[in-house]
Amino acid sequence: MRWRPPHYFLPSWRTVATLVLILATIGCATPPPGAPGPPLVFPDETFAFANELLSAYEMGPDGRLQMVPRDVPAEYGQNCVSMARAVRVFHAHARFDPSLPRANEETYRRLIETILARDPRKKRPVPDRIVIPGYANLYEFSQGEEVLLKLSVDDRLVGYFQRGNWRMIMGFSRSHQSTMAERFVDGVRRGESPVVHIIRFPNIDINHMIVIYDVEETRDAIFFDFYDPNYPGDRLRMRYDRSERGFEFPQNDFFAGGPVRVYEVYDGIFF
């Protein structure tokens, strides 16, 4: 008779899924050690160019926004994930020095590639930051080297295969959203810049990535100031309602505004 492994060597898929969720929760619940770092400065540490919408949007008869063709086709779109990731990485791994002479295109390309190859899960500035000469900050750099940066950050596969995408299908309790709000507050105070996935799954009216850089707390709500790759330079706010334990995203060109579900990505081995 052929030997068969004991039953306990073959856990069910439900057991495996449960263990994965437990490990993910543990990994996300432990704040990283170390002293607080400098916060992300808006708009200095963000891009001056926009992630363009592939369609225009108009209000339909049912009160919902509907996609319509753009008058001018988008040249740079579907990059909100790669842009949000890049903002995090530049904040933690780059240092700008305007006192140095400006470099040539090949030098800047090499520096950008080296920075973008760094780990986005390191949320605070590291000791061995890479120096970008000739510019004061990322906003100015992305104005002077817009074409080069767009070519370097144009990576839509980053969005499709971002490892935290699995989380959107698991459901979101009010307790989970309350925990996220607390994590975002703590992260900003530690000098981090939480990269946040905004969804209403299974609805697909919003599937977007932003970067939180500041927070204001009141008795009834928490207001999160965020960088939106679609609206460079615009100061935008997302509201968390303490009593409802839920987030509300502001209206914009592609979303009518209202309740959303959120979670942090580039945070731990599962995200």
pLDDT of the residue at 50: 95
User: Range with the lowest mean pLDDT among 26-35, 91-100, 176-185?
Assistant: 26-35
Residue 206 or 83, more confident: 83
pLDDT of 171 reads 85
What are 139-163's pLDDT values in tens digits? 999 999 999 999 999 877 676 677 7
At residue 98, does pLDDT exceed 90? yes
Asked if pLDDT for residue 108 goes beyond 50, the answer is yes
Six token digits for residue 236: 């935008």
Is the pLDDT reported for residue 190 higher than 50?
Answer: yes
What's the pLDDT tens digit per position in 30-63? 445 567 789 999 999 999 999 988 776 666 777 6
Averaged pLDDT, 250-264:
93
- What pLDDT score was predicted for residue 33? 52
The per-residue pLDDT for 163 is 74
Which one, of 178, 148, 187, lies nearest residue 39 by Cα?
187
- 68 pLDDT more than 80: no
Using the predicted structure, report yes or no on whether residue 182 has a pLDDT greater than 80.
Answer: yes
- pLDDT at site 239: 98
Task: Give the model's pLDDT for residue 19.
Answer: 42
Residue 159 has a pLDDT of 64
**Across 222-234, average pLDDT:** 97
The partner residues of 10 in beta bridges, in order of sequence, read none
pLDDT at 169: 81
Q: Per-residue pLDDT for 15 more than 50?
A: no
Q: What is the mean pLDDT of residues 8-28?
A: 42
How far is Cα 206 from Cα 67, in angstroms, rounded to an integer?
12
Three-state SS string over the chain comes to CCCCCCHHHCCCHHHHHHHHHHHHHHHHHCCCCCCCCCCCCCCCCCCCCCCECCCEEEECCCCCEEEECCCCCCCCECCHHHHHHHHHHHHHHEEEECCCCCCCHHHHHHHHHHHHCCCCCCCCCCCCCEEEECCCCHHHHHHHCHHHHHHHHCCCHHHHCCHHHHHHHCCCCHHHHHHHHHHHHHHHHCCCCCEEEEEECCEEEEEEEEEEEEEEECCCEEEEEEECCCCCCCCEEEEEECCCCEEEECCCCCCCCEEEEEEEECCCCCC
Q: Looking at residue 269, what is its pLDDT?
A: 87
Rounded Cα–Cα distance for residues 266 and 92 (Å): 13
- pLDDT value for 155: 76
> If you average pLDDT over every residue of the chain, what do you get?
85
Predicted structure pTM score: 0.83
Q: Please state, in angstroms and rounded to a whole number, the distance separating the CA atoms of residues 142 and 103.
A: 14
